[in-house]
Structure 1
Amino acid sequence: MREVRNIAVDPGEDGVRLDRWFRRRWPHVSQIQIQKMARSGQIRVDGSRAKPEQRVSAGETIRVPPLPEAPQAGDPKPELDRRDVMFVKSLVIYEDDEVLVLNKPAGLAVQGGTKTLMHVDRLLSAWGEGLERPRLVHRLDRDTSGVLVLGKSPGAAAKLSGSFARRRAEKTYWALVMGNPKPSEGVMELHLVKKGIGDREMVVPADPKDPNGDPAETEFVTVSRAAHRVAWMALRPHTGRTHQLRAHMLAMGHPILGDPKYKTEESAQLSGGLKLQLHARRLTLPHPSRGTLVLEAPISKELKEGFKRFGFDEHEAEPEPFKRRRRS
């Protein structure tokens, strides 16, 4: 596509992230290309500069700049081998005609990049291409394990994305953090902003007046303690900022153990070789066409190692620890 186009957002796309809006229409355009076009102002929403992660609304007009041509049908395409298919199918914890749910392992990226060849988005070819290919509706950090939901049709994906955009999806993460947060439960409200470039980019606290900062809110409850050294936390993000939980816990003075980026010298020493102790344990959200989905991912081998080291038992936790907080 070599010309600029202005396209209205369809009602079925209301609430979808801008980058996903692009990827659904032009799957051959990479995430990095979308980010570059947004940063340079080539992508605009109703005439204004836009961020790839912002949500679009039905009726808004998106400026689409000239895009690279899609590969021809005869161009070579990396195929999944039998082991790849068996691997991604082994991650399934729920599937029906509209929804696919995976227990994403730590270390597996959700989407690809210049140096990332193995990722969830590529593995989705195991279900087919075109309309048969499941669609991502939210993301997890590469090093975070747990519940990852996908839509198996454009309509289902749009409705699931809308649930996340309207905060109708209740996410519960488990994390092991340094020390014992006081108070033991509450809500962390702290604006966040991205700083740095490439591998050095981090999300850090921002002044509420900073135009580049975004409001971020995390609810937290202490599930159990290992003396004064470590706390097992249930975390619920009310907003969906990049690295939100990791940045918020560091700002609280209780960084998540095993975090290679959001850490202190003390937390790195206490981690003692553990991988990131963060797991998307539970997700509750409306099904695209019927009832409510309650999804739970078995804990990862990385979190099991942390539980074993500090003496936690996963059966200690209530399925919904935040209900206890609201009753008190």
Structure 2
Amino acid sequence: MARKKHPRTPLPPRGGLGASRVRLPGTEPSTAFDFIARVIAEQRHRHPADTDEAVLERFAQGQVVLIDGTPLSPSSIVAPGTDVFFYRRPAPEKPVPYEIELVYEDEDIMVVDKPPFLATMPRAAHITETATVRLRRATGNEELTPAHRLDRMTSGLLLLTKRREIRGAYQELFAARQVHKRYTAIAEWRGLEVPTVWRSHIDKKHGEIASTVIEGAEPNAETIVRSVDRLPASREVELQGLHGFGGPLASYLLEPATGRTHQLRVHMCAAGLPILGDPVYPVVHEFGDEDFALPMRLKSVELAFTDPLSGADRCFTAAEGLP
């Protein structure tokens, strides 16, 4: 299936961030100022300095426009159903004390080792502390875009495209499950027979943090456990001390055959082997209740695929490190 193409926005990305698109709801028209001021005031994560004066400054700089690029004035009348574009001002965020490591780069793509606690794309409370924004700001390339996503708490290999015109080819590769992926997870040691295949029906409801397993339903998720290796004694003692865990620990090599939300984390937890440091499974921790010294021990360690542009076989592996 072809991916839906999104039209260019009339405002270019700036500072690593794209412009926001908002649509006036209801049946009553509004002035452009009242509409945008209300949108900003209702943001859950709002910059304290984003006042009415800051909204007016956007209008003065021609940064509130229609889809065809026509700039609006504060008194312009906006009809219901009209799309308006403007730049949001991100709220302050706690810096993530980990660096993004470059694994590979050519004229088309960039592969990096993303640290934990750094979201892939801007969303909700995590805007500037994301891999996309950090890398766009570091490189100056506003077209740099991930071809897939990693959970915020998952570390490891992330592939980004460097030019808009090739973006769809790589995104479709991941969407069509044509990329072979491997992850390592650290959890309590158990002598599983390998390979072991876990199949289940995983459901994720909008607005809920955790995915759930639906017993008896047709499986829609499959994970293969390729190997289980007891950690070296020194590493085991280190992680036991950091995470307050008393049992033996092992590294699990996992291959997701499908791509459900939190699939590896759900399958590990359902097997009685929750990943060390997981803030959701089996217990959901409060938002913001996190210690950067205690990352989740799940890492994407291999990406292999046939390049959609050159036809060459590609295989990227992560360096030693987390988890």
Q: Return the TM-score normalized by structure 1.
A: 0.60
SS in structure 1 at match of 2:315: strand
The size of the alignment, in residue pairs, is 228
Does residue 114 (structure 1) correspond to residue 129 (structure 2)? The answer is no
Gaps of 5+ in 2: 10-17, 24-79, 234-246, 285-292
Q: Against the structure 1 CA distance between its residues 77 and 91, is the aligned structure 2 distance closer, same or farther, given a 3 Å change threshold?
A: farther
Partner residue of 1:165 out of 164, 175, 184: 175
- Say if 2:151 is the partner of 1:146: no
Change (3 A) 1:207 1:68: farther
Do 1:281 and 1:299's aligned partners in 2 also have CA atoms closer than 8 Å? Answer: no
Distance across 2 between alignment mates of 1:148 and 1:280: 8
Where does residue 246 of structure 1 map in the other structure?
Answer: 265
Q: Could you tell me which residue of structure 2 aligns to residue 220 of structure 1? A: 225
Give 3-state SS (helix, strand or coil) of 2:269's partner.
helix
Distance 1:258 1:153, change over 3 A: same
Which residue in 2 is equivalent to 1:281? 301
Alpha carbons of 1:111 and 1:190: their partners in 2 closer, same or farther (altered >3 Å)?
same
Code of the residue aligned with 2:103 in structure 1: it is I
Deviation at 1:195, TM superposition (A): 4.4
Counterparts of 1:66 and 1:128, CA distance in 2: 35
Tell me how far apart the structure 1 counterparts of residues 172 and 194 of structure 2 sit (CA, whole Å). Answer: 32
- Aligned 8 A contact 1:146 1:299 in 2: no
- The aligned runs of 1:1-328 (5 Å cut-off) are 14-16=1-3, 21-22=5-6, 25-26=8-9, 27-29=18-20, 66=81, 68-71=83-86, 91-117=101-127, 118-126=129-137, 127-128=139-140, 133-180=143-190, 182-195=192-205, 197-198=207-208, 201-207=209-215, 209=217, 215-226=220-231, 229-263=248-282, 274-290=294-310, 291-300=312-321, 302-303=322-323
Tell me, in whole angstroms, the C-alpha distance in 2 between the residues paired with 1:15 and 1:235: 29
Residue 189 of structure 1: CA displacement? 1.1
Partner of 1:39: none
Change (3 A) 1:258 1:287: same
1:167 maps to a residue whose letter is R
Residue type of the partner of 2:84? E
Aligned amino acid, residue 153 of structure 1: R
Superposed CA offset, 1:56-75 (max 9, x none): xxxxxxxxx9574222xxx6
Q: Provide Cα deviations, 1:29-53, integer angstroms capped at 9, x if missing partner.
A: 47xx89xxxxxxxxxxxxxxxxxxx
Decide whether the 8 Å contact of 1:15 with 1:165 is kept in 2. Answer: no
Tell me, in whole angstroms, the C-alpha distance in 1 between the residues paired with 2:88 and 2:249. 50
The answer on whether the counterparts of 1:224 and 1:232 sit within 8 Å (CA) in structure 2 is yes
Distance 1:113 1:163, change over 3 A: closer
How far apart are residue 264 of structure 1 and its match?
A: 6.7
Tell me the distance in 2 between the aligned counterparts of 1:255 and 1:76: 38
Identity %: 30
Aligned position for 2:69? none
Larger-Rg structure: 2
Instruction: Look up the SS of the partner of 1:262 in the other structure.
Output: coil
Distance, in Å, in 1 between the alignment partners of 2:81 and 2:200 is: 38
- The 3 A distance-change label for structure 1 pair 76 and 248 is closer
State whether residues 195 and 203 of structure 1, in contact with CA within 8 Å, keep that contact through their aligned partners in structure 2: yes
